[in-house]
Structure 1
Amino acid sequence: MSNSSAAHEVQLTESPNLAREFARAAFTSGSRPGAMGTVPDTVLKLATTIDREQLFGYQKLCGFTPADLLPPTFPHLLGFPLQAKLMAAPGFPLPMAGLVHLRNEMVQHVELFAQDNPVVTVFAENLAPHPKGVTVDLVTRVEVDSTLAWESRSTYLRRGPAAESAAAEDEVPGVPEGLPVAKWRLPADLGRKYAAVSGDVNPIHLHPWGARMFGFKRAIAHGMWTYARTLSALGPRVLGPGESVVWFRKPVSLPSTVTLVRRPDGEDGIVAALVSSGADPKPHLITRWQRG
């Protein structure tokens, strides 16, 4: 992952309150310059600690065995409040409300544990035209004892007209064929349960009325929950150093039933997909994991 050229570093003393940042983003959404703007030259940094109660609750909800070893997706919870603070700031070009989490790339360099004292850094880059609008990347890095332990790149889409200069979309692996390896019934309150362990109180995940404000008939599951639940089903190997990419294809309405399919291990690692149940299944996400 590339380095940021940003020069304005802000050292935070506490993790931003997500509810407050969502409200601030909604209040300033009408003043955003959009695709004609530029990403801020701000780097947010926070020295933090791991809350074991939060960690164990997250592990149980996402299908991991509760332990001091962090799941590969857990560091996202440390960085997302910083992402939200950056996107809610008036100078951020795209309104946070309505952004679609399109893709996520994670690299686990070394194992992380509950007793670690991570330093989290977040910055934005790559405001770019897309066939479906415009995208921006939020980069998160986690260091322990000045050593890079984990990093991710979250790509968010603002829907709109495509620019002539828009690059082609990623080549996404196909849905693996074969019998399903798991089927999960997702309850209507899953979004509220995940919000309780993650702090992500985006209204589209909590209640149907909140989802309807953004064009959804029902609340939808957090994409990072579906990602974490899929990785946890791949077994303990994902807890070690490795790389994974997820493409979010279709929101998961709540309640619903979803099916996990996967391809046997290959030279390019494991490919798995979470698909809708029924006669004509559609992919909700496709992910590829490789050992580091």
Structure 2
Amino acid sequence: MTVDWLDLSTAPHLPTLYTQAARKRKITGSTLPTKGFRCWIDIDTPSLTAFRGVCGIAPSPLLPPTYPHVLAFGLQMQLLTDKDFPFPLLGLIHLTNRLQILRPMGSVTRLRVGVFVHNLQKHPKGATFDVVTRVDDQLGPLWEAHSTLLCKGVQLPGDVPESTALIVPPLTELTRWYAPADIGRQYAKVSGDYNPIHLSAVSAKLFGMPRAIAHGLWLKARALAALSAHLPADNVEISVAFKKPVRLPSEVILLSSDAGSSGDFQLNGQGELVHLIGQWRPIG
């Protein structure tokens, strides 16, 4: 698709965007805007270090695979609260996330981050769309991600497209960890994502959740930290599908295949509860 890019001189101001998000509660249309927002963003070393700490990521000259999402969060908020975007931000459900590392993400201090939306699709519960995030350095494209979100209640014509589920082969336990009750607040501080469903039981109950749930991208970041010795540094696509939410506090169990250019992983709770399934594959 052709994106009508709007270049910003500075990253968006998050408190203002949260106010805009809180005010918009209704669906106002059924078509996505063609505009996108992009901006050059400097990498702040203390912020990156704090992100590594919350996500259990060891020090490295390479940026963590999911860190560009943090750099892009303000731009994503700007786009999803824009007057031309038809759906309310609060209540959107993150279904899948697919990222591509095109080149090793090392020795970078400044990146151009761009975001846009496309691929509106009918869904049994409403409609889905993709938030696309592209990251360039001075040499060109470096990283790209597609996050599929669901907005309930949207009415679109036509049939629901057939879905293809990730097929997970037999896996073995790699590690397990405890997600504390305050991990949503910890991750919010390093990511800027203060969605109420992640912050506390009280705020989550306002949106129909019995307890706070962990951020999906924290789960992915934490899992990829544990898988770091398994994953290629570049030319890799890492996809996850979010299943049952992780209610806080909880213990989670990471299962994985062996290291290699391709592999699969899964994050489980107690019993048969599956929180996340994922895979990594070479690009192309």
TM-score w.r.t. length of structure 2: 0.92
Matched, 1:229 2:222: yes
In structure 1, the residue matched to 2:175 is 182
In structure 2, the residue matched to 1:128 is 121
Give 1:133's aligned amino acid: G
In structure 1, the residue matched to 2:186 is 193
Aligned 8 A contact 1:70 1:239 in 2 = no
Equivalenced residues, count: 281
What's the secondary structure of 1:274's corresponding residue?
A: strand
What's the secondary structure of 2:17's corresponding residue?
A: helix
Distance apart, 1:19 and its partner CA: 3.7
What's the secondary structure of 2:239's corresponding residue?
A: strand
Aligned 8 A contact 1:232 1:238 in 2 = no
Aligned 8 A contact 1:29 1:97 in 2 = yes
In structure 2, the residue matched to 1:25 is 21
1:64-75 superposed matches below 5 A: 64-75=57-68
1:1-292 superposed matches below 5 A: 4-7=1-4, 9-30=5-26, 32-34=27-29, 37-113=30-106, 115-160=108-153, 164-174=158-168, 176-238=169-231, 240-241=233-234, 242-265=236-259, 269-277=262-270, 280-292=271-283
CA deviations over 1:52-96 (Å, ceiling 9, x no partner): 111111112212212331011111111122111111112212111
Distance apart, 1:240 and its partner CA: 0.8
Aligned 8 A contact 2:120 2:129 in 1 = yes
Distance apart, 1:198 and its partner CA: 0.9
TM-score w.r.t. length of structure 1: 0.90
Aligned 8 A contact 1:130 1:167 in 2 = yes
Aligned 8 A contact 1:186 1:258 in 2 = yes
Identity within the alignment, %: 37
Distance apart, 1:114 and its partner CA: 5.7
Aligned 8 A contact 1:51 1:114 in 2 = no
Give 1:262's aligned amino acid: S
Distance apart, 1:22 and its partner CA: 2.7
What's the secondary structure of 1:244's corresponding residue?
A: strand
Tell me which moved more, 161-170 or 115-124: 161-170
Structure 2 unmatched runs, 5+:
none
Structure 1 unmatched runs, 5+:
none
Distance apart, 1:13 and its partner CA: 2.0
Give 1:250's aligned amino acid: K
Alignment RMSD: 2.0
Distance, in Å, in 1 between the alignment partners of 2:91 and 2:159 is 23
Distance, in Å, in 2 between the alignment partners of 1:262 and 1:275 is 11
Distance, in Å, in 2 between the alignment partners of 1:178 and 1:70 is 27
Aligned 8 A contact 2:243 2:274 in 1 = yes
Q: Give structure 1 regions of 4+ aligned residues with deviation exceeding 4 angstroms.
A: 161-164
CA deviations over 1:242-261 (Å, ceiling 9, x no partner): 11111011111111111111
